[in-house]
Chain A
Amino acid sequence: MAECHPVAYQWVTEARLRGAKVIHIDPRFTRTSATADKHVPIRAGSDVVFLGALINHILANELYFKEYVVAFTNAATMVSEDYQDTEDLDGLFSGYDDKLNNYDPSSWAYATEGEGPNASPGTIGGPAAGHEHGHSGSERSAGDEHGSGGPALEHAKVKRDESLQDPHTVFQILKRHYARYTPEMVSEVCGISVDDFHYVARAVTENSGRDRTSAFVYAVGWTQHTLGAQFIRTAAIIQLLLGNMGRPGGGIMALRGHASIQGSTDIPTLYNILPGYLAMPMVGNHDTWDDYVSAIGNKQQKGFWANADAYAVSLLKAWWGDAATKENDWAFDYLPRLSGAHGTYQTTMAMKDGQVEGYFLLGQNPAVGSAHAKMQRLALAELKWLVVRDLQMIESATFWKDAPEIATGELSTEKIGTEVFFLPPASHVEKAGTFTQTQRLLQWRHKAVNPPGDCQSELEFFFELGKRIRARLADSDDPRDRPLLDLTWDYPLDDEGEISSEAVLQEINGRHLSGDKAGELAGMYTELKADGSTSSGCWIYSGVYAGGVNRSANRKPGREQGPTAQEWGWAWPDNRRILYNRASADPEGKPWSERKKYVWWDEEQQQWTGIDTPDFVKTKAPSYRPEPGTGGPDGLAGDDPFVMMADGKGWLFAPKGMLDGPLPTHYEPQESPVQNPLYGQQSNPARRVFPRKDNLWSPSGNAPGAEVYPFVFTTYRLTEHHTAGGMSRWLPYLSELQPEFFCEVSPELAAERGLANGGWATIVSARSAVEARVLVTERMTPLVIGGRTIHQVGLPYHWGVGRDAVVSGDAANDLLGIALDPNVQIQESKAGSCDIVPGRRPQGEALLRLVEEYQSRAGVTVETSNQLRTTTAGASGSSKEADA
């Protein structure tokens, strides 16, 4: 955090002033470690073992927050008897489909009240409210939809055993699942000593409970694994068991990689979701409006997602205005349908295969910053046209003349047909708008100066592009042009003649279109209706402009207001600073302790009150119990704090929504020198792999040839640079602080391989080889894994080969391949296998021969490390017998 988010680290510094203990768990010793109470080095990619052992420790020693766990989580909920665990199936869950290499999750469902065990899963509601097959879920990267709530359930009639004793309760399943995740296993898999494990376990458990809370803070590198989403899930389970969710000082905080990355998932630049985490409709699953609406939120489930139809109709009304009517299903058919996964990596591969004609790059430098940067560059060379909008002439704009592939002969400038349009943008101080940070806080930026010359903001650019396209199509009577022509594209202009960004924020906030409030801005998302009488461009942002006031521009200093600083910016939803904060009070609505008092039930006023906006129906008493079978917000009991979850509970076990298992399980990275010591299943069986000649992998574990790439490499950022360098390598003041690409190695590895501090090293993976200066440092620690020493090589990824920047160098991301998490299609960029040798890499074609020589020595083929199932247990369709 000190390394990549130094400004936010001031709050950690202040927390330490107030007695907080900071523990840093990271493969390398960073600036954060330097100022933490303890640094615990871990082998990259082994996190679930470490966190799973914490869960086991908490359960085995009864250190969980019992009242919280019983009342607020699904610990007491019973799971279908069909469910089989990875402990039964050697690393697979029940439902693995060998044909599609994904799970059919129906056996993970909750046991159903009143009917036979899990009688008819998926019959109520549409496809997603039932049990969508993991394959199609992964194709549409369904995990992204859970950015503002859990997945839909068909209803919430579940069986519970609050004594937690029934073997089918989540609690007992959890206990069995993590029983083999012991401190000794941590030592063997993660390289963390038993003493260090106990230090962390003691610190976290002693600092959680009624009077205390602990927080997990991570940077997005934690997600960049083939089971990245499950890493975060493991931390979520710990936080639920310790009662650290919905309470001040608790939670899990994701530190994002850029300004407003949170904003760009809320109002997505992703292929698979619509604003506010509404699913993008998919061919076959959501062909009709009714299919779609019942899929995104079922009226019979509990909680606020049951009103998803109101959010979707309001969105379509915001986009297509009067052209969206009840008769045409609110212009639902104007929305494109997904035909499969079209994430950034699938697009890159399609581009390389000649299936993509044009590409827009907006402040992104994939030729340096994306995994398998070499494939990225080769793909750009296959485009017909490319638009780059960036502050500098980045490598992705100049690849056609200075990509390293020109030196190796794989590309030649004369043969590249890509027409590159470089358009200068406005920087963040040259345009007005909001940034949404990790706490969901929208903060308005005022424009400080006008952009110079032809520079344009993104908003202005796309507004203008839309105007020109619409003008060209104005006379068209082709129905396929209707979605463009019917768009509400009538934004007012400001004094400078630019589109008013306030007007856009108002559209996002939403309006009443008819009724007594017609024309008024919506006050919050509960005002949105499914009858076409409201519009809102992003339902979770509804309320940011309530009463005609731009609340994101609120700027009352913290010292002039209470601890939640509610008048600084605006947090979605409804200016809540902590989500699910009903959990900060006990089931009766009293604060868990005076010290951690946050939101509570006021008996006299008969309403919820506190220092934050209560995340609960304001007048719903703790004692309220709905009629069985009630859906929507009314279905939530007075002690169901997780109001966006379909059963109102925090999910220790995920009966739906995760495509690679209801519980996080340790799998080795796609490429790992270590054999999975827990299961025959080596890696995540549901991960997305792409067996291609240009995406080869080294052998893993005990497979022959793994010794050719014996070391683990991990990529990361430094304080001095920003991601792929577009905003730092062109600035002399930042470039001089970290002028060259370097690798960090331990003194032990340096001695083993003859690497000299300040000298050169060549790092070789199954994809490519790069050269870097060497920093020999005690900050890198060799770890003893399963009795042998595993060395890790640290690689900051800021440099790229080009001629325009102040500093350049090989790109660490050239070493990476493309293997993805199935839930959200994130690449595995934090753990790979490599070799390292002293000296500079060969130049020209000789570089390709070096990489090939390694591949052939290791016996690498297209199939290497790409088999998804590596255990023979639980063959498809007959999972029951596998018990025997």
Chain B
Amino acid sequence: MGFWQHQLAGPTDPSHDAAWEEPEPRKGFFTDTSICIGCKACEVACKEWNAIPEDGLSLTGNSYDNTGSLGASTWRHVAFIEQTADRVEEARASGRRLVDLGMPALRPPDAPQGSPSAASGTAPAGLEGVVPTAVADDGSLDAMAAAARTAHATGTLPDFRWLMASDVCKHCTHAGCLDVCPTGALFRTEHGTVVVQPDVCNGCGYCVAACPFGVIERREDERDDKRGGGVVSNVGVAQKCTLCYDRLGHDQTPACAQACPTTSIKFGTLAEMLDTARDRVEVLHDNGFTEARLYGANADDGVGGTGSVFLLLDEPEVYGLPPDPRVPTADLPDMFRKAGIAAVAMFGMAVAAFAGRRR
């Protein structure tokens, strides 16, 4: 029963479930938004590699985000969120509540409890353990890092902060798009990712409604593409991030992660990514940045965890992410159960009706 149950929701190994006999270790992204500088190199690298057409030339007036959202012709999207001190305080408080609920990482036992643990400055530092350092173990560096930690654990909230975060397809453990695809255009790869085959897709659009993140979209725009000599490919079919399936097959890093100058976008096996993400959030919590939290790292969530894990510095809604994404199939057992109960009830009533007549 367990195996079948996990075909619809909860923790599982999707490549194995998809009947790959010798699947690769599941691959994924860890996007650490605390070191994102919003350069949008990921967006450009993605478009270059995948030959995606330009996606509109209008100014949104929404900070430096003129991309807007993920879609058929935008597979990476960097969000820019400007926040004043009160909102930062709320983010820190909501993060602290998560910590109090037993989320990973707590401050060292000797740290004063209840004192304002607010970190100073506009951005979290203290990256140790996340970015590989070029310098060998030098005791004094540890001392400096410790000093930096102390410095960050005191002080006041910043007056203002500017959050930047690069969003991408989540490559869900239970992918709504894939589950509803009637043609088999969407498939689970040997890397555990979800990819569209444009030549198979018939453009029905079921997947668009089934994605809890609003990622996949049909390319409807037939506007001339200045780059492609006036031809936009794959019009009318569903499009989204492939996690650079064509690069993974050659042991290459996806274009976005390769281009990211600050290693905000990391790529590797999902297990490594989850470990890195958990270590990082622990460091930030130790430094007093209780607003840090992971997104997509919980295998018991509504999509069975995602293949793209994020470290956020505020609630997911702030970044335009659903707080509690849920794959439609997660509700299938319940729906069938209820339908079954209804059927049994109706059958019972019918039986009862006939039985009544006989009397």
Co-assembled chains A and B: yes
**A34 lies within 8 A of B122 (CB):** yes
> Residue B63 at the A interface, CB < 8 A?
yes
> Residue B101 at the A interface, CB < 8 A?
no
> Residue A417 at the B interface, CB < 8 A?
no
> Residue A612 at the B interface, CB < 8 A?
no
**B43 lies within 8 A of A737 (CB):** yes
A806 touches which of B135, B141, B161, B226 (Cβ 8 Å): B226
Q: Which residues of B contact A344 (CB under 8 A)?
A: none
Q: Which residues of B contact A19 (CB under 8 A)?
A: 125, 141, 144-145, 147-148
**A738 lies within 8 A of B144 (CB):** no
Complex Cα spacing A738 to B43, Å: 13
Instruction: Tell me the chain A residues, 713-747 only, with Cβ under 8 Å from chain B.
Output: 718-720, 732-740, 742
B262 touches which of A9, A558, A595, A735 (Cβ 8 Å): A9
> Residue B98 at the A interface, CB < 8 A?
no
> Residue A2 at the B interface, CB < 8 A?
yes
Looking at chain A's contact residues, the main secondary structure is loop
Q: Which residues of A contact B55 (CB under 8 A)?
A: 736
**B130 lies within 8 A of A17 (CB):** yes
Q: Which residues of A contact B140 (CB under 8 A)?
A: 595
Complex Cα spacing A9 to B264, Å: 12
**B144 lies within 8 A of A775 (CB):** no
Q: Which residues of A contact B135 (CB under 8 A)?
A: 18, 563
**B66 lies within 8 A of A558 (CB):** no
Q: Which residues of A contact B227 (CB under 8 A)?
A: 732-733
**A18 lies within 8 A of B59 (CB):** no
**B59 lies within 8 A of A720 (CB):** no
**A807 lies within 8 A of B128 (CB):** no
Q: Which residues of B contact A2 (CB under 8 A)?
A: 37-39
Interface centre among B47, B53, B66 (most CB of A within 10 A): B66
> Residue A767 at the B interface, CB < 8 A?
no
User: Which one, A36-44, A262-270, A293-301, is touching chain B?
Assistant: A36-44
Q: Which residues of B contact A740 (CB under 8 A)?
A: 58-59
A311-353 interface mask toward B, CB cutoff 8 Å, 1 = contact, 0 = none? 0000000000000000000000000000000000000000000
Complex Cα spacing A778 to B81, Å: 11
**B121 lies within 8 A of A36 (CB):** yes
Closest to A558 in B: B134
B126-156 interface mask toward A, CB cutoff 8 Å, 1 = contact, 0 = none? 1110110111000011001101100100000
**B121 lies within 8 A of A10 (CB):** no
Complex Cα spacing A10 to B36, Å: 10
Q: Which residues of B contact A31 (CB under 8 A)?
A: 37-39, 162, 164
**A735 lies within 8 A of B54 (CB):** yes
A561-592 interface mask toward B, CB cutoff 8 Å, 1 = contact, 0 = none? 00100000000000000000000000000000
* A9-B37 contact in complex given A36-B121, A736-B66, A778-B84, C-beta closer than 8 Å: yes
Closest to B84 in A: A778
> Residue B64 at the A interface, CB < 8 A?
yes
B133 touches which of A18, A38, A558, A779 (Cβ 8 Å): A18
**B37 lies within 8 A of A34 (CB):** yes
Closest to A13 in B: B262
Q: Which residues of B contact A775 (CB under 8 A)?
A: 61, 63
Complex Cα spacing A18 to B40, Å: 25
Q: Which residues of A contact B126 (CB under 8 A)?
A: 16-17
**B261 lies within 8 A of A779 (CB):** no
B49-80 interface mask toward A, CB cutoff 8 Å, 1 = contact, 0 = none? 00001111111110110110000000000000
**B134 lies within 8 A of A739 (CB):** no
Closest to A757 in B: B61
> Residue B94 at the A interface, CB < 8 A?
no
Interface centre among A17, A37, A738 (most CB of B within 10 A): A17
B59 touches which of A16, A559, A758, A777 (Cβ 8 Å): A758
> Residue A33 at the B interface, CB < 8 A?
yes
> Residue B18 at the A interface, CB < 8 A?
no
* A778-B160 contact in complex given A10-B263, A732-B227, C-beta closer than 8 Å: yes
A17 touches which of B38, B60, B131, B163 (Cβ 8 Å): B131
**B261 lies within 8 A of A719 (CB):** no
**A559 lies within 8 A of B38 (CB):** no
> Residue A21 at the B interface, CB < 8 A?
yes
**B161 lies within 8 A of A16 (CB):** no
A1-39 interface mask toward B, CB cutoff 8 Å, 1 = contact, 0 = none? 010001101100110111111100000010111111111
**B122 lies within 8 A of A36 (CB):** yes
Complex Cα spacing A193 to B25, Å: 54
Q: Which residues of B contact A37 (CB under 8 A)?
A: 120-123, 125
* A33-B122 contact in complex given A9-B262, A17-B130, C-beta closer than 8 Å: yes
**A35 lies within 8 A of B37 (CB):** yes
**A736 lies within 8 A of B262 (CB):** no
**B160 lies within 8 A of A736 (CB):** no
**B261 lies within 8 A of A9 (CB):** yes
Q: Which residues of A contact B134 (CB under 8 A)?
A: 14, 558-559, 563
Complex Cα spacing A19 to B147, Å: 7
**B123 lies within 8 A of A739 (CB):** no
A34 touches which of B41, B67, B164 (Cβ 8 Å): B164
B66 touches which of A32, A595, A738 (Cβ 8 Å): A738
> Residue A131 at the B interface, CB < 8 A?
no
Closest to B147 in A: A19
**A6 lies within 8 A of B162 (CB):** no
Q: Which residues of B contact A36 (CB under 8 A)?
A: 121-123
Q: Which residues of B contact A35 (CB under 8 A)?
A: 35-37, 122-123
Complex Cα spacing A774 to B60, Å: 10
> Residue B225 at the A interface, CB < 8 A?
yes
Complex Cα spacing A773 to B54, Å: 21
**B56 lies within 8 A of A736 (CB):** yes
Query: Nearest-CB distance from A105 to chain B (Å)?
Result: 44
> Residue B82 at the A interface, CB < 8 A?
yes
Q: Which residues of A contact B37 (CB under 8 A)?
A: 2, 6, 9, 31-32, 34-35
Complex Cα spacing A774 to B48, Å: 30
**A21 lies within 8 A of B148 (CB):** yes
Complex Cα spacing A39 to B148, Å: 17
Complex Cα spacing A7 to B37, Å: 10
**B261 lies within 8 A of A10 (CB):** yes
Query: Nearest-CB distance from A228 to chain B (Å)?
Result: 27
Interface centre among B35, B64, B144 (most CB of A within 10 A): B64
7 A-B pairs with CB atoms under 8 Å apart are A13-B131, A17-B128, A18-B133, A33-B122, A37-B123, A736-B66, A738-B59
Identify the B interface with A (CB < 8 A).
Answer: 35-41, 43-44, 47-48, 53-61, 63-64, 66-67, 82, 84, 120-123, 125-128, 130-131, 133-135, 140-141, 144-145, 147-148, 151, 160-164, 225-227, 261-263
